[in-house]
Amino acid sequence: MAKFNLDDFFEDDIPTGWKCALISNHSHSLSQSEAEMHWMTFTSLSGESDPNWAEFVQAENSFKELFSNLECDIGLYICEQNINGHSPKLASNSISDAISYNVREKRFDAFTSDQFDCVILGNFDLTFPVFISEEQEWGTIENAVLKSGLHLLK
């Protein structure tokens, strides 16, 4: 496992020795106008009566499937809870719970693996930045992402 300082992944530049992509519910990076018109965040939803609720739940389930697969395939685990300095609101008993909180923007976590050099960050707008060592190929992550019906934007 490559040594890393988690704080390095919150800077504007990609840390030396790493490369980055986005795991996304969207097939492309959204333009500003698409982002403004899109239902992207949980905070814009008002619950099951919201017309976008079914689409949101489908996206949430896709992320749960992805992270569950990565947990099995590469031993993915939560490496730090509540990044970005927010006070904890909820505790996770499982990767699935953590993903719900991250997708719903209630808490942001970071995830990593002892078996595969990667760092995945919880993020806004149904996208998760993923960093892997420059020495690795995207295949392991990309296969899991595609299997879950999501997209890897490189």
Residue 124's pLDDT band, with cuts at 50, 70 and 90, is confident
Distance CA 116, CA 140 (A): 9
pLDDT for 10 equals 81
Q: What is the mean pLDDT of residues 5-17?
A: 86
pLDDT in tens, 51-76: 677 888 899 999 999 999 999 999 99
Please report, as a single letter, which amino acid is at residue 115: Q
Distance CA 62, CA 53 (A): 14
Distance CA 144, CA 68 (A): 10
135: nearest Cα among 6, 8, 1, 11: 1
Residues 58, 62, 63, CA angle at the centre, nearest 5°?
120
Residue 23's pLDDT band, with cuts at 50, 70 and 90, is very high
Q: What is the mean pLDDT of residues 128-148?
A: 96
